[in-house]
Amino acid sequence: MRASVPLVLFAVFFLLLPATKASGYELKTRYTIIVYETEELLRRFNREVSMGSLSYLVRNRNNVTIADETVNKVDAIFERVEALLDMFPRGVQFKIVLLPSDRDVQRTYKGKYGADVDYISYYSPRDKTVFISVDDVRIGVLAHELAHVVVDLYFGVPPPQKIHELLAQFVETHLKD
Residues of the chain with pLDDT under 70: 1-23, 177
Cα atoms in the 13 Å half-sphere on the side-chain side of 40: 2
C-alpha 136: how far from its chain's center? 14
Query: Tell me, what's the pLDDT at 59?
Result: 82
Q: What is the pTM of this model?
A: 0.85
Query: Tell me, what's the pLDDT at 68?
Result: 93
Spatial CB neighbours of 65, under 8 Å, sequence gap ≥ 6: none
Query: Tell me, what's the pLDDT at 23?
Result: 59
Query: Tell me, what's the pLDDT at 39?
Result: 96
Taking each helix axis from N to C end, the angle separating 39-48 and 66-85, rounded to the nearest 10 degrees, works out to: 50
Report how many helices (DSSP H) and strands (DSSP E) the chain contains, helices first. 6, 6
Pairing type for strands 94-99 and 121-124 reads unpaired
Assess contact for 87 and 151: CB atoms under 8 A.
yes
Query: Tell me, what's the pLDDT at 53?
Result: 84
Show the domains of the chain with their CATH numbers. Answer: 19-174 (3.40.30)
